[in-house]
Amino acid sequence: MRRMSLEDATALAEAVLKGQGFSEDQTRVLTQAVIAGQRDECHSHGLYRLLNCASTLAAGKVVADATPKVDDQAPGIVRVDAGGGFSQLAFEAGLPVLATKAREQGIAALAINHCVHFSALWVEIEAITDLGLVGLACNPSHAWVAPAGGSRPLLGTNPLAFGWPRPDGKPPFIFDFATSAVARGDIELHRRAGKSLPEGWGIDRTGQPSQDPAAVLDGAMLTFGGHKGSALATMIELIAGPLIGDLTSAESLAHDNGAGASPYHGELILAMDPARFLGEHSAQHMAKAETLFSSIIDQGARLPSQRRYEARERTRKEGIAIPEALYQELVQLM
């Protein structure tokens, strides 16, 4: 493993992205995203994703200097056209309008269109909870996942993330998961490390259960929770696809046309303002959330994101570690 400080990891990411030809703004937000992933030890969405940024650009499937366009579409809807760039800059452009609308209406939606997407959604959800708002985000990806009961890839790994702000400097309650049994990035990391997969993650080309990452990448991934994950993934195809006038995972994969690039589609983000919902009773009702969280922890369970927050504390002091082979690949891209 190669150890480095967060500052050195940031410099490495910037050098790779600039070296590949991304604009200053794109480099800034992409660096923030992969460093946040690495810092919180979400390895499938950390520095490793720079390889995808480079290969997606080399394949001509992302616009390196895209500038998002914000359209204040309706009292409760802001739309941002990412212009074929990665999603992060579009989210940054849309967030202030989304927050203002959520405070005015109680609830508002940000629809991002025409974006190339690879990020872990908790990064965006944390930006929303930092503003004291409740957030929900989802998006399609590429058609890599078989619907429950089926055997061929159709749905995306379609992540769903939710965040709830907490008082007194407590970190927000956030969960963020793929609706497949695991993110595809994790299967790729198993393949790179020569490790076999746990049961239940995927099937091979013939529809048979497989623990071989290469066979599953070539076959189909499975949903989490069987028909429940399958239904959630389908909902996400709908509300972050046709509802916002953008591509489904099957259409994103067709657009890819074998290039192996990051998915190209839209993203739907909702923000809700507890103060607008609850008025003067806000604090009283929000306190019930704290009781719920304490009751979960009192049983010996943990809140989602706790592992991430602990990793964040650790890596701030000790720095991060990535496989030497990945480090060498990244250096080649600078």
State the catalytic residues: 44-45, 186
The stretch near ligand PYC (CB under 6 A) out of 2-10, 176-184, 279-287, 308-316 is: 176-184
Q: Pick from 82, 174, 178, 326: which binds ligand PYC (CB under 6 A)?
A: 178
Q: How many CA atoms lie within 13 A of 62 on its CB side?
A: 31
Instruction: Provide the 8-state DSSP code for 334.
Output: -
Which residue of 47, 63, 121, 261 would you call a contact of ligand NDP, by CB under 6 A?
Answer: 121
CB of 117 to ligand PYC, least distance (A): 6
Q: How many helices (H) and strands (E) would you count in the chain?
A: 13, 11
Which residue lies nearer to ligand NDP by CB, 207 or 225? 225
Check residue 139 for interaction with ligand PYC (CB under 6 A): no
The size of the interface with ligand PYC (CB under 6 A), counted in residues, is 9
Please report how close the Cβ of residue 168 comes to ligand PYC at its closest, in angstroms: 34
Residue 46, contacted partner among ligand NDP, ligand PYC, none, CB below 5-8 A by kind: none
**What residues from 207 to 266 belong to the interface with ligand NDP (CB under 6 A)?**
none
Q: Would you say 236 and 265 are in contact if contact means Cβ atoms under 8 Å apart?
A: no
| Cβ at position 250, least distance to ligand PYC in Å | 14
- From 307, 325, 328, 331, residue interacting with ligand NDP (rule: CB under 6 A): 307
CA distance 306 to 322: 21
Which residues, numbered 253-292, are part of the site for ligand PYC (CB under 6 A)?
Answer: 263
Does position 141 interact with ligand PYC (CB under 6 A)? The reply is yes
The one among 182, 216, 236, 261 contacting ligand NDP by CB under 6 A: 182
Q: Any contact of residue 56 with ligand NDP (CB under 6 A)? A: no
Cα angle at 55 between 54 and 56, to 5 degrees? 90
Measured distance CA(114)–CA(247) in Å, rounded: 8
Q: How far apart are CA 161 and CA 177, in angstroms?
A: 6
Residue type, 31: T
- Residues 306 and 312: their CA atoms lie apart, in Å, by 10
Instruction: List Cβ neighbours of 6 (8 Å cut-off, separation of 6 or more).
Output: 35, 39, 315, 316, 319, 320
Confirm or reject binding of residue 177 to ligand NDP (CB under 6 A): yes
Q: What token pair was written down for 265?
A: 């589609």
Task: Output the DSSP codes for 132-188.
Answer: T-EEEEE----S-BPPTT--S--B----EEEEE--STTPPPEEEEE-SBSS-HHHHH
Query: By CB under 6 A, is residue 125 in contact with ligand NDP?
Result: no
| Binding characters for ligand PYC, 180-209, by CB under 6 A (x = yes) | ---xxx------------------------
Q: Is 110 in the site for ligand PYC (CB under 6 A)?
A: no
C-alpha span between 165 and 154 (Å, rounded): 35
From its phi and psi, is residue 308 left (phi > 0), alpha (psi between -120 and 50) or beta? alpha
Contact indicator for 178, 157 with CB cutoff of 8 Å:
yes
Pick the piece of the chain touching ligand NDP (CB under 6 A) from 49-57, 89-97, 156-164, 215-223.
156-164
One of 118, 162, 164, 201 touching ligand PYC (CB under 6 A): 118
Q: Which lies closer to ligand PYC via its Cβ, residue 118 or residue 201?
A: 118
Q: Which residues contact ligand NDP (rule: CB under 6 A)?
A: 42, 44-45, 117-122, 139, 141, 157, 159, 161, 175-178, 182-183, 186, 302, 304-308
